Homo-oligomer: A and B are copies of this chain.
Amino acid sequence: MSFPWPEPGTALADVPTPMPVIDEDRLAANIARAQDYLAGHGLAFRPHIKTHKLASVAQAQLDAGAVGINCQKLTEAEAFADAGVEDILITYNLLGPARLAGLKALNDRVARLTVCADSETTVDGYAGAFTAGKPLSVMVECDTGGGRCGVQTPQAAADLAGRIAAAPGLRFHGLLTYPAVGGAEAVQAFLTEAVALLEAKGIDCPVRSNGGSPDLWKAHLVPAATEHRAGTYVYNDRSMVRAGECGPQDLAMHVLATVVSRPTPTRAVLDSGSKALTSDLLGFADHGEIEGLPGARIVALSEEHAVVDLTGCTGPLPTVGQQVRVIPNHTCVVSNLFDRMVFHRGGVVTRVEPLAARGTVW
């Protein structure tokens, strides 16, 4: 295929669409701001690479002071180990002999690798696969109201930590949670109680890891935590603006799109469909915002088309062939659809980087 990935120096207006592009300056500012805030509150920062899957961005996060990275899959972790990252936390229950074999090989080559567990089944799988010669660090995942994975009570956390601590091939590393938005109080209460129970058992709990970009700037409200994990903050997106967690000037990702049809006076169709923006709504009723076109609403996506209702527009309407910039509802899923990421500064392409962890499966 002859896809013309843009050369450095190309103006964004000449970049093929649909294409996500990253503003270098905003990216750098987002990395610095989060790191400074967390460091200022004595919290370690462990950025989640699911958002960008790029070696250079992970390196920039580490250079800024991050203690390591957070991955969600074994194969993501493998890709970043290949890129030289030496401290990796996989916030996932890794199950089954094949996945455990991959995890064992990874643990042999990463300086500091940590995984998590929320069940005896997961812990027993780890315990059977690892030995004291090269033990595996394991955290207990706690459900502090997020309603996804995690043990349900501080007592269950302490019990599972005890099981980990008792396994010769495992080391208990601490507690982690991905909380409900605005759940600082619940996180603080859960962690405090769990740490006390662990102390009573004589089990050290060096790391208490809190998470989420939506609550990044409230991380200091959980003094029981020692580190915070966040992914979306690095690019930000429409959902983060709505949540008040960033302003429009902090949006580092836009999806460039072209108006391919103007079938009626109030309808435009863009080439950024669900295979460019994804269908993630995150509570919105529409599929992203078009910068500089107030009142326009992306009312429907098919795979390669976005249907825009222009009824509410007051300014000049876009014409066929015109390029527009879409602010996606959710950046992390957009990155996942493209093999490479295009960076720019001031509207001029600076570089195009292959995604280190594209096509990762488990």
Give chain A's interface residues, CB within 8 Å of chain B: 1-4, 14, 16-19, 50, 72-73, 75, 78-79, 82, 92-93, 95-96, 98-99, 102, 105, 118-119, 121-122, 125, 143, 147-152, 258, 260-264, 267, 269, 271, 274-275, 278-281, 300, 302-305, 307, 319-321, 332-333, 336-339, 359-362
Contacts and interface: CB of A to CB of B under 8 A. Distances in A.
A348 B183 CA distance: 46
Contacts of A102: 2, 4
Contacts of A75: 1, 3
B320 A122 contact: yes
Give the oligomeric copy count. Answer: 2
Given A278-B274, A320-B95, A17 B149 contact: no
A70 to B, nearest CB: 12
A75 B304 CA distance: 12
A264 B156 CA distance: 12
Contacts of A99: 16
A362 B19 CA distance: 9
A119 to B, nearest CB: 5
Given A98-B4, A304-B92, A263 B362 contact: no
Nearest to A307: B148
A271 B271 CA distance: 31
A92 B125 CA distance: 50
Contact of A50 (B98, B303, B360): B303
B16 A73 contact: no
A150 B263 contact: yes
A360 B4 CA distance: 11
B279 A362 contact: no
A262 to B, nearest CB: 7
13 contacts: A3-B360, A3-B361, A14-B98, A16-B98, A18-B361, A93-B261, A95-B260, A118-B261, A149-B260, A149-B261, A149-B263, A151-B263, A274-B333
A16 B93 contact: no
Given A281-B279, A362-B18, A73 B304 contact: yes
Contacts of A274: 278, 280, 333
Nearest to A260: B93
Nearest to A151: B263
Pairs A-B, 7 closest by C-beta atoms: A121-B320, A149-B261, A279-B279, A93-B260, A339-B359, A72-B304, A1-B78
A127 B2 CA distance: 22
A198 to B, nearest CB: 20
Contacts of A118: 261, 263
Contact of A148 (B95, B150, B302): B302
